[in-house]
């Protein structure tokens, strides 16, 4: 089964780059240019990964991540936050990994792997508590 990725990015060229790099990694990608569009997609579809631009117009990427994390529908969604800002200066953003812009394919792969490891640790922790 192919993993699915949701790309939430309002810059079309950047969204296309994410889709390209994630597609080469084996992800089936869907892109949207807004947090509101992402919430609608997340209400109707299942994704394994979300790459979220923090500086979205309207509802920000940070707000989107908060909404996803506070809901119970997607507890195991791996989230990579991306931004031209230094994301190290934004503690508690709620993402599993961060990715600065501009980025290279290797940086995307590293951020995705880090996010996937975080989800594995989170799910293992839940299983341990339920034993």
Q: What is the CATH number of the domain that holds 45?
A: 3.40.50.2300
The pLDDT assigned to 91 comes to 61
pLDDT band for position 34 (50/70/90)?
very high
Indicate yes or no: pTM above 0.85: yes
The pLDDT assigned to 129 comes to 55
Domain count, the chain: 1
Structural element, H or E, at residue 6? strand 4-8
pLDDT at position 125 over 70: no
- How far apart CA 44 and CA 17 sit, in angstroms, is 25
Domain range enclosing 125: 4-130
Q: Residues 62-106: pLDDT tens digits? A: 999 999 999 878 878 999 999 887 666 556 788 999 998 999 999
- Average pLDDT value for residue range 36-43: 96
**Size (the chain), residues:** 131
């Amino acid at each position: 089964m192919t993993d699915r990725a949701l790309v939430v990015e309002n810059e079309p060229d950047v969204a296309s780059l994410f889709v390209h790099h994630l597609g080469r990694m084996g992800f089936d990608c869907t892109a949207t240019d807004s947090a509101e569009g992402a919430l609608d997609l997340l209400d109707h579809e299942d994704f394994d990964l979300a790459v979220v631009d923090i500086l979205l117009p309207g509802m920000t990427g940070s707000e989107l991540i908060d909404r996803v994390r506070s809901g119970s529908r997607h507890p195991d969604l791996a989230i990579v936050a991306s931004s031209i800002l230094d994301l190290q200066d934004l503690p508690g953003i709620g993402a599993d990994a961060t990715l600065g812009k501009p980025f290279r394919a290797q940086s995307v792969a590293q951020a995705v792997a880090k996010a996937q490891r975080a989800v594995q640790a989170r799910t293992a922790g839940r299983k341990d508590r339920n034993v």
